[in-house]
Amino acid sequence: MNSSIRKLFYASVVLFAALLGMLAYQQVINARSLADNPHNTRKVFEQMRINRGVILASDNTELAKNRLQGGLYYRQYPLGDLFSQVVGYNDMVYGQTGLEHSQNDYLTGTADEVEVTNFINQLTGKQRAGANIKLTVDPKVQKTAMTDLQNNGKPGAVVVLDVHTGAVLAMASNPSYDPNQLEADWAQLNQDPSGPLLNRATQSLYTPGSSFKLITTAAALETGAFTPGSQFNDEKGYIDIDGNRINNYRATATAAPEIFGQHTLSDAFAHSINTTFAQVGDKVGQAKLVEYQQKFGLYQAPPIDLPGDEVAVSGRYVNGHLASPNDSLDQVHVAWMAIGQENVQVTPLQMAMVAQAIGNGGSEMKPYLVDSVIDSNSTVIRKTQPEQWRQAIQPQTASTITAMMVRVVNEGTGFGARSDKVQIAGKTGTAEVGGGKINAWFVGFAPADNPKVAIAVVVENAASTGHDSSPIARDVVLSALGMR
């Protein structure tokens, strides 16, 4: 064997060994990851021979059920686009998303708890079947949220949580899509610049604007740097920090900023005075602002029962990537952060969790969509128990912020959320996103004196918070409380 042939032989052996190694890795080590990939349509096809479990709302309304045809179970979604981003889809061509993916093992009967039931059932001649999934969502509340978003005519999202348990009562994203028409509409849905396949409630990141002042205020109060009665004097409607100007709200790009004169921190919260909160942020400092973001759960993925790639992490983003909370910022960026601008980005789910924590005496609960899992023998094999995620702030701080949030609705920027049926506590946000456009936020809970439901609403490309997000929040809260 000459030298060239010998080298070729050795190279072939090495390549063959590498090929065997890769095959072994994919077949053994990476097998589970491949099987769980939501785009693995071969697995979806195989599981279509199983009588897949039904997905139910809290009132037992069917959100996803089956149609048997040619020995295969095809999915049907009776409510069309109402819950499409949450429930997701199970499709032979395009795979799985939403709860159809995250709860797939239960729905197909391959989870350990369901396998036992199926084994016993098959011994007695019964058909193999998946478990049913009962959710926490309320179709009436979801309908109100979706209708209001659609009537508003702009993209946006609504999240409603049970204040004491963290259960998701509604999670609406507009625009939406009909999963029954997924294959027919696939090309159009993917080309649509408004992103109807996107769950804006958990996947979209938004500048929070003044709704972030909830976190800034928590830091200001708990550090002892300020009280609700701390005095400020706004003489010009703007403040210069290290040569950079921060303005109060301006009705138009060329209008003069509002001037508020002598006022308290509580006044500044009610009327969303940027110059005051820039000073608050400057004194509290970056370390404490970041600490309280983390106390409320930013920089961590919310522990909700959706696929991990459908839940974005809130925090500070640079060039499209989550930045380290330890990155050092200059004085100007800290001031901008304190008023909810700079590079802070949040999901509607995260802001609903902030409201939930304040309404629950500072205790932030783990949000969840799945109430229970019920096998084919109607036995509940799993029941979600409410669980605290973190103690964000102290109960007294939560009580103080609640009183300030009531003033926002009764006297300040949250006027659109006023109702003669219940006292709503809230915080608005007008987030500047460039090109003269704003995203309008309302974050709050009700009743203010005995909170039961927390809410976050965001409307993209809005006219104002008073005319866009706040009225939606009012309607949905009233629906969630059975007052509408």
Q: Catalytic site residues? A: 210
Instruction: Count the Cβ atoms, other than its own, within 10 Å of residue 198.
Output: 19
The Cα 69–Cα 59 span in angstroms is: 28
Give the 3-state DSSP-derived string for 181-237, with helices as H, strands as E and coil as C: HHHHHHHHHHHCCCCCCCCCCCCCCECCHHHHHHHHHHHHHHCCCCCCCCEEEECCC
- Side chain identity at residue 140, one-letter code: K
The Cα 29–Cα 40 span in angstroms is: 17
- Side chain identity at residue 47, one-letter code: Q
Give one DSSP letter per residue of 52-74, joined into a string: PPPEE-TT--EEEEEEEETTEEE
Q: Which two tokens stand for residue 138?
A: 């309320």
* 96 beta partners: 90
The Cα 443–Cα 456 span in angstroms is: 4
The Cα 355–Cα 366 span in angstroms is: 13
Instruction: Count the Cβ atoms, other than its own, within 10 Å of residue 11.
Output: 10
* 388 beta partners: 365
CB of 88 closer than 8 Å to CB of 96: yes
